[in-house]
Amino acid sequence: MLQKLETHLEKNFPFLKGKKLLITVSGGIDSVVLAHVFHQLKYQIGIAHCNFQLRGIESDLDERFVEKIAKEFNCQFHSIQFLTKEYCKKNKVNIQIGARELRYDWFQKLYTEYEYDYILTAHHLNDVMETFFINLSRGTGLDGLASIPPINQNIIRPFLIVSRNDIETYANNLNIKWREDQSNAETKYIRNKIRHHITPELYKLHPNFEENFLNTVLKIHDSKIFIKQKIAALQKEIFTTKENDFIIDKNIIKNLSDFEIYELFKPFDFTATQEIKKLIATQTGKQIYSSTHTLLNNRDSLILSINTQDLNEDVYMIEHMQDIHHLPISLNFSFANKEISKDCIALNLEQTSFPLMIRKWKDGDYFHPTGMRGKKKISKYFKDEKFSLRDKENTWLLCNHQQQIIWIIGHRADRILTCKPEKENLVYISV
């Protein structure tokens, strides 16, 4: 398995070589083997462990066990103890969601504070299967069927081609010790029900189920990329810009399939295709709303506008990847490598959806500043950086279609939504 993984890493994750990697280790077999593999292959690693204090003394023993591994590997060890139940009660979320929020927020803080290049998690092929069936049972599109992405911003999941059986065989052959979490055997969680009752039956139905499933998910992933490219081309063809709105020919929309309509309007948070088709058939002036946009039925067109009632100032849409010189602030787009600075950011093309927008800040805005821990409100950032009233008035934000802040233009980028220059398939945006 080590040789298989080394080849896999060299082919699909060559950018990890020579980088500082934060490996998240719970103490279970998956994450312990992940740490072992990267140690054996002589990657530069640190280990992070979360103690959620949900299993009494067992949680503390997990923490000590992982610390011992870090000492054995002579690598940096990070640990934290969370008041998980109190957090979940306060934020009105279940334990699984609360624990996920706590750990990923902390991982991002470590990533920034200790200058790691990537965060690695031990999700494997069986996790992909379980997520696939969870999403399928709830109703989903291609994104849900593609399941867990191998790369998500600065989070890397290199084990997605590896099965749980492969991991167990590797651990047993090398006499690697790990900690058992008894909750994995409980069937009150939907993931465990799928693990213990559904996937075993699928293995019985077809001996090559695992290999077939992996090939299918890879095809879904490729299909998703292909569709995204085609929809982007279609949007460029039929969406025209007028001031800050998109004008869309109704006659063209009428001839599109339900799938094309869904994919075209999904970035604007419209997901009910029949509602859009019904709008086209109603009287002029009728509107429907998403959380971020308004779609108006005009005479011969649909008018797509951003919901600006909560914004302080003008909003400008960037429809395509092209230099912008007609707005209050100019932006240049380039594929050529540039130095990242307060005046230049890099975005991953595969994870960036147009349109982008430029707008002024509003109360409640926040981002995850590069070089800082956690998240920060824009108002607090302005105060800490001693912005004058005029500075605030003249500052623009670059946001994605969900109004998440990518960049305080010319000042500070969001560390999660932007990329480091050594990654591949980047577009650089500069002022």
Instruction: Please report the pLDDT score of residue 183 as a whole number.
Output: 61
Which residues, in sequence order, are bridge partners of residue 26? none
**Which ranges of the chain have pLDDT less than 50?**
310-312
Task: Compute φ and ψ for 25, nearest 5 degrees.
Answer: -125, 120
Return left, alpha or beta for 8; rule: phi > 0 is left, psi -120 to 50 is alpha, else beta: alpha
Residues 152-167 pLDDT 10s: 888 999 999 999 999 9
Question: For residue 220, what are the CA distances in angstroms to 16, 128, 137, 163, 371?
Answer: 25, 12, 17, 19, 36
Instruction: Please report the pLDDT score of residue 310 as a whole number.
Output: 46
Instruction: Please report the pLDDT score of residue 187 as a whole number.
Output: 54
Domains of the chain: 2-216 (3.40.50.620), 243-306 (no CATH), 315-430 (no CATH)
Return left, alpha or beta for 269; rule: phi > 0 is left, psi -120 to 50 is alpha, else beta: left
Residue 26, annotated as binding a ligand: yes
Residue 147, annotated as binding a ligand: no
Residues 250-285 pLDDT 10s: 889 999 999 999 999 988 888 888 999 999 888 888
How far is residue 368's CA from residue 381's CA, in Å, rounded to a whole number? 10
Q: Where are the beta strands (DSSP E) in 54-160?
A: 76-81, 118-120, 151-152, 155-156
3-state helix, strand, coil in the chain (%, to 5): 45, 20, 35
Share of the chain above pLDDT 70, in %: 95
Instruction: Please report the pLDDT score of residue 190 as a whole number.
Output: 82
pTM over 0.95: no
Residue 18, annotated as binding a ligand: no
Q: Which residue is it, tokens 């779609």?
A: 295
How far is residue 417's CA from residue 423's CA, in Å, rounded to a whole number? 13
How far is residue 33's CA from residue 51's CA, in Å, rounded to a whole number? 19
Residue 31, annotated as binding a ligand: yes
Neighbours of 268 (CB within 10 A): 21
